[in-house]
Structure 1
Amino acid sequence: IARNLAQGRGRFWAPHYTDTIYPAFHEHPPLAFWLQSLWFRAFGDHWFVERAYSAAAAALIALFIVVTWRAVHAVPDARNQDWLPVALWMAAPVVSWAIVGNLLETTVAVFVTGAVAVLTLGQGQPATEFSAFAKASADRRRFSGGWSSCPRRPPWWHRDYSGALPARPDSLPVLVACGCLSGLCVVGATLAKGPVGLFPLAAPLILALLPERRWRSTWCGAAAQWTAVLLCGALLYAGGESRESLSRYLHEQVVSALAGRREMSAGPLTMVGALVEGVWLPMALVSGMLVVMARRWTTPPSRGRSVAAAFTLLGLCGTLPILVSPKQTGHYLMPAVPFYAIGAAAFVSPTAADVLNRLRAGRSAVALRVLAATVAVAAGVAAALPAFEREPARMGELDRLAAVAPRGATVGICPSTNGDWGLHAWFQRRFQMSLDAADPVSHEWFLQAGEPACTPVTCRAASDTSARLVLLRCGQ
């Protein structure tokens, strides 16, 4: 869909899937498709484009996790543990699945983590690196009589840029600006995947549970965020095309899913099992490894427990509402995983600090950094590889058809094949072909997939007849 938008097929409020299936696509809001279409416009129709988009989205999510972590974590050397919430986030298999699969949830996760990161910056930090640095510098000057023995300014990659905000954590202009920006991020998440992107609206109230948070900051941030969302909603409703597109999405997708008229999951508690097995269990295993490496468990302070509870609650706000829908699947968890990771990191942070201290005392630090760099490079290479390894047999069939496939054509198929959504997707992605089961004999080309039950007698094979997918040309 994003590629089609980049090539001028479809509009923002009416994206184009194929000529026969969703020529005007309203199954999801259009923002994520449009954002990715910008990449196709910039770099062309290549396999690496969607991989690069997903990798950039993952990098932004990791950045917002780090920003939020520094803003809520009270330990002065929190920057030394930036890796911890990111590592716990990546430990969940659903994260790599969503990123490599180029799923819409990846874009949603960018917006929801951005919304919370901006809020935490606007409400101020409990202890910033720069304030601690300034205090240490003043103490050294007081006792040494000069600047010569002051600590050096940390390098740029270790600086806490939230220190650029005003010193008062409840500065009204900052609160309003950050609240409005957070609200715009919530709107972006909603326009990427629907109501599942609304849960950061609860973030101002949940963050108010943290120590040293002021209710004035809470209500100002919440009012600005909610007002921005309401104003954007009013503007979208006032626009004729946007109102029609989103109304069709709500009726055809959301209402139908809640009524059980769309795809059904294996059971009503599918999300609960996916949350426990696919998110909490991997994070618990990583935490257990840290305990083993530290050779002890260090109980987190009260603030760490508060951060853990608050962000776990925020993650649940992004997960539990999905339980009301009969349509559930594991990758729907992706937008909430960053907040579970921050909560888990706050709980295990003192133990992770013990691990780092043990490594610094020995010679294992260099080996650990080399290992981390190797894993990061391997992950980057894996993310850059094309997706067709997931279906090697089908991709091999498509490769054999590439020489004769009529690009941009509409091709007939048997009605029994019409439910193979992957077939529609891959023929559109590879050859810009549309598959028609409603009137298959009216086209010049016909695709035989499996049994030749409804193959027109006037068609002759144009590709290898021993393959499962066979292209036939008709009317000759």
Structure 2
Amino acid sequence: MSNPSGNNTRLIACITIIILTSMLMLDRLVPEGLFLDGVTYAAISRNLAIGKGSFWALYYRNPWIFSEHPPLFFGLQAIFFKIFGDHYLTEKIYSFVIWLLTAILLKQFWNRAIPGNGVSYSYALPLLLWCLVPTITWGYTNNILDCTMALFDIAAVWTLYRSQKDNNMWGIITCGILIFCATLTKGPVGAFPLAVPGLYWLVYQRGSGKQFFTAVMLTIFLTAMLIAFYVIFYQFPGPRASFDRYLNQQLIAALSGQREITTGGLGRWQLLYDLAIQMLVPIAITIILIVIVRLLKLTPQKTSGKHALFFLLIGLAASTPIMMSVKQRTFYLVPSLPYYVLAVAAIAYPYFLVITNRFKAGQKGLRIFRLSAIIVSLGLCIYLGSKVGQVGRDHEMIANMHYLAEKFPKGEVLGICAEAEKDYAFLAYLERYNQMEVNRIFYAQKYVLIDKELCNNDIIPIINSIGFREEPIDLSRYKLYHRHFPLKFDFTLLNPVFRTRDK
């Protein structure tokens, strides 16, 4: 069934998909602006790069040591800030590199798991389905931790899959290191590759007692490796303090429901609903391929049900543990989505193959297409270059940050009211831009920034009474007050009391 003309057709499809998916990613990645979590993580990584805090004691803003997540993501992104400097594109470049490496591993995993028998460029199918999942495009353009964890996890699964087939002990050890890196990025949810040996036996080797014993021993070995890494690091004061903070402030609180609840009306089942929504496009494309094959009366190869089942079980192993927590968000699915996509692609593959073999492209057509692709790519590069510096989201917030960065020196601390301390987006952007911070003990600062939408008006007479005077500022939402008296004593001893509203 396979022939050079079919390979040419798949090459054309592959190049088209690469151009379209890259454009889809970069069009959202290049403009300025990020989701709140992404801005926060970029600020922490930048702080680490300039010497604020340390790998085991991440600095966000005074006096907070960031303990919401393990530190590996921030250490890796800090390297990019060291290389590219403190520019808004730095975290964007990091995100694109993570996306690109994940796509390469997805391609490698597909090529290894689905033997081509002379069929080239079939990886275009899973890459297309993966990039068309809405959360993939959103997640890899918003600097979330889950994307980095997904990279370590798919590297671990691919390495373990190869090592099991080739009996490569060094590959298994590498897999253990990668699982440790995944958990050091976002905690225990990154340890799901530990289930792969058992799932591999269940799908491909069921009935073999010897292989079952091998799978159990392999899982025990990898688990022991993971525990050993943490035990060794726990002997040192820095890692021990970091692990304790993460365990007490984040992990236990999240599992016990003490953190924010984001599951919606479906409770812990919300994630399964979100998964179904995310997979609608890949499933729809598969159905379209099947319908086309039926209409053309083509004869596809038999679908490999075992491969689809194996990928599906890995996806379930990656996503179902998240349901233990009532803190769920759709982008938590990012590490599991490659496997769900591979499962769907394994079902769609025979139909994709027979269609690309049916519509043949010769060498002349391929040359014309390559020339067209080069021209289109150059045009897209010019288009993307024009978007550098443009604002993609949070327009007013980013404009305010640029204004404040021009008005105040780097590292300036602004006094704010207590209510404004709950404006997390404002605080994150303020820290990310120009390394500016805030202090709710406003009377001890040189400048006080009052948010007219959040702060109680009763604070203004107090500010005026202790020697602050309003200064003109070109920000409609804020008022700026400048202290006009010398700071001769510790104003933190003061405790002005004023009425506050329930905001």
- Normalising to structure 1: TM-score of the pair? 0.81
Aligned to 2:103: 62
For the residue of structure 2 that corresponds to 1:355, the secondary structure is: helix
What is the one-letter code of the residue matched to 1:468?
A: R
Contact 1:319 1:336 (C-alpha < 8 Å) held by counterparts:
yes
Contact 2:203 2:309 (C-alpha < 8 Å) held by counterparts:
no
Does residue 19 of the first structure (1) align with residue 62 of the second (2)?
A: yes
Does residue 115 of the first structure (1) align with residue 108 of the second (2)?
A: no
Aligned to 1:459: 468
Please say which of residues 233-242 and 214-223 is displaced more in the overlay.
214-223
Q: 1:32 to 1:252 in 2, by over 3 A?
A: same
Deviation at 1:306, TM superposition (A): 0.9
Deviations 1:292-330 (A, max 9, x none): 55455867636x211111111111111111112111111
Contact 1:109 1:335 (C-alpha < 8 Å) held by counterparts:
yes
In structure 1, C-alpha distance between the alignment counterparts of 2:283 and 2:379, rounded to whole Å:
25
What is the one-letter code of the residue matched to 2:48?
A: L
Deviation at 1:286, TM superposition (A): 2.5
In structure 2, C-alpha distance between the alignment counterparts of 1:382 and 1:188, rounded to whole Å:
34
Aligned to 1:354: 354
Aligned to 1:341: 341
What is the one-letter code of the residue matched to 1:393?
A: E
What are the equivalent positions in structure 2 for 1:50-449 lying under 5 Å apart? Answer: 50-77=91-118, 79-124=120-165, 169-170=166-167, 174=168, 176-211=169-204, 215=211, 218=215, 221-265=218-262, 266-267=264-265, 268=267, 269-278=269-278, 280-294=279-293, 301=302, 304-360=304-360, 381=384, 385=388, 388-437=391-440, 439-449=441-451
Contact 2:102 2:151 (C-alpha < 8 Å) held by counterparts:
yes
Contact 2:189 2:318 (C-alpha < 8 Å) held by counterparts:
yes
Deviation at 1:400, TM superposition (A): 2.6
Q: 1:308 to 1:234 in 2, by over 3 A?
A: same
Q: 1:10 to 1:212 in 2, by over 3 A?
A: same
For CA contacts below 8 A with separation 6 or more, give which structure has more relative contact order. 2
In structure 1, C-alpha distance between the alignment counterparts of 2:378 and 2:116, rounded to whole Å:
26
What is the one-letter code of the residue matched to 2:284?
A: L
Q: 1:318 to 1:84 in 2, by over 3 A?
A: same
Q: 1:372 to 1:107 in 2, by over 3 A?
A: farther
Deviation at 1:218, TM superposition (A): 3.8
Q: 1:351 to 1:15 in 2, by over 3 A?
A: same
Contact 1:10 1:16 (C-alpha < 8 Å) held by counterparts:
yes
Deviations 1:3-44 (A, max 9, x none): 001101111100100114x2x211110000000001111221
Q: 1:412 to 1:260 in 2, by over 3 A?
A: same
In structure 1, C-alpha distance between the alignment counterparts of 2:293 and 2:137, rounded to whole Å:
28
In structure 2, C-alpha distance between the alignment counterparts of 1:417 and 1:277, rounded to whole Å:
36
Q: 1:79 to 1:183 in 2, by over 3 A?
A: farther
Does residue 475 of the first structure (1) align with residue 484 of the second (2)?
A: yes
Q: 1:69 to 1:218 in 2, by over 3 A?
A: farther
What is the one-letter code of the residue matched to 1:290?
A: L
- State the number of aligned residues: 423
Deviation at 1:381, TM superposition (A): 4.1
Aligned to 2:499: none
For the residue of structure 2 that corresponds to 1:318, the secondary structure is: helix
What is the one-letter code of the residue matched to 2:274?
A: A
- Normalising to structure 2: TM-score of the pair? 0.77
In structure 2, C-alpha distance between the alignment counterparts of 1:376 and 1:309, rounded to whole Å:
41
What is the one-letter code of the residue matched to 1:291?
A: I
In structure 1, C-alpha distance between the alignment counterparts of 2:199 and 2:143, rounded to whole Å:
30
Please say which of residues 307-316 and 213-222 is displaced more in the overlay.
213-222
In structure 1, C-alpha distance between the alignment counterparts of 2:386 and 2:271, rounded to whole Å:
26
Deviation at 1:343, TM superposition (A): 1.1
In structure 2, C-alpha distance between the alignment counterparts of 1:312 and 1:382, rounded to whole Å:
39
Q: Report the RMSD for the aligned CA atoms in angstroms.
A: 3.0
Deviation at 1:397, TM superposition (A): 2.0
In structure 2, C-alpha distance between the alignment counterparts of 1:224 and 1:374, rounded to whole Å:
50
What is the one-letter code of the residue matched to 1:322?
A: I
For the residue of structure 2 that corresponds to 1:446, the secondary structure is: strand
In structure 2, C-alpha distance between the alignment counterparts of 1:373 and 1:206, rounded to whole Å:
46
In structure 2, C-alpha distance between the alignment counterparts of 1:247 and 1:17, rounded to whole Å:
18
Contact 1:196 1:318 (C-alpha < 8 Å) held by counterparts:
yes
Deviations 1:106-146 (A, max 9, x none): 1101100100111122123xxxxxxxxxxxxxxxxxxxxxx
Q: 1:56 to 1:340 in 2, by over 3 A?
A: same
Aligned to 1:157: none
In structure 1, C-alpha distance between the alignment counterparts of 2:274 and 2:390, rounded to whole Å:
23
In structure 2, C-alpha distance between the alignment counterparts of 1:383 and 1:27, rounded to whole Å:
36
What is the one-letter code of the residue matched to 1:227?
A: A
Q: 1:467 to 1:185 in 2, by over 3 A?
A: same
For the residue of structure 2 that corresponds to 1:261, the secondary structure is: coil
Q: 1:368 to 1:307 in 2, by over 3 A?
A: farther
Aligned to 1:148: none
Aligned to 2:32: none
For the residue of structure 1 that corresponds to 2:450, the secondary structure is: strand
What is the one-letter code of the residue matched to 1:460?
A: R
In structure 2, C-alpha distance between the alignment counterparts of 1:284 and 1:109, rounded to whole Å:
22
For the residue of structure 1 that corresponds to 2:448, the secondary structure is: strand
Deviation at 1:383, TM superposition (A): 13
Contact 1:179 1:222 (C-alpha < 8 Å) held by counterparts:
no
In structure 2, C-alpha distance between the alignment counterparts of 1:328 and 1:61, rounded to whole Å:
23
Aligned to 1:150: none
Unaligned runs of 5+ in 1: 125-168
In structure 2, C-alpha distance between the alignment counterparts of 1:414 and 1:337, rounded to whole Å:
42
Deviations 1:169-222 (A, max 9, x none): 33xxx1x21111111111101010111101111112112234479827645643
